[in-house]
Amino acid sequence: MPEETIRIWDGSGGTFVDGDGNFYRPAQFTEDALQSLEAAINGEAFTLALSLIDVSGSAADEIWNYDEESSIQGSPFIVKLQILDEEDQPDGDPIVVFTGEIDNLDVSDEAGADGIRSMVNIEITNLFTLRTVTNGAVLSDVDQRARSAVLNPSAADDEFCKRVPLLRDATIKWPNW
């Protein structure tokens, strides 16, 4: 587990300092990062894959070496939204919209006219990862109960698989306004 927290914000410009004095480094994500985040937040995706682009070769080498020496797998990953006022200053506390753990990290290099640019790819898992069954089958009643117990340990026993067949004969009546 890494000893240092890395904080980044999506954009260019200078370092952002939050109300607690934490420094956020500017970074540039791929164009599809927002869609990937939305899918993960809504539980539509069971893993979140993000890529930092235009990373200098030296920074990418440092990231790679650090991950080789002390793996970042299992490190917490938190996405927050910060509301800004009309002068682009923080307005209130940031809102946590996604939490997960880093599952994998890799670095890829690309040579171009401007030199070598690197891309850092990370895969993040969260509780929705438990939805997947490796063979692609539908969860059985036993699997559903086990999954529910992990996702919501304080809840009563999940009876979803018992209740759904009972709805087969039910008639849905919409309100008559």
Q: pLDDT at position 18, please?
A: 81
Q: Does any domain span residue 1?
A: no
The reported pTM is: 0.64
The residues, ordered by sequence, that sit 6+ positions from 68 with a Cβ below 8 Å of its Cβ are none
Q: pLDDT at position 135, please?
A: 54
Q: pLDDT at position 140, please?
A: 66
Domain count along the chain: 2
CB atoms within 10 A of CB 119: 16
Q: Are residues 121 and 139 in the same domain?
A: no
Q: pLDDT at position 38, please?
A: 85
Q: pLDDT at position 138, please?
A: 57
CB atoms within 10 A of CB 102: 19
Q: Does any domain span residue 3?
A: no
Q: State the residue range of the domain holding 90.
A: 8-130
Q: pLDDT at position 158, please?
A: 77
Q: pLDDT at position 5, please?
A: 81
How are beta strands 16-17 and 23-27 bridged, if at all? Answer: antiparallel
Q: pLDDT at position 131, please?
A: 54
Per DSSP, the residues of 146-157 read HHHHHH-TTSPP
Q: Which residues of the chain have pLDDT under 70?
A: 1-2, 43-44, 127-140, 177
Q: Are residues 108 and 60 in the same domain?
A: yes
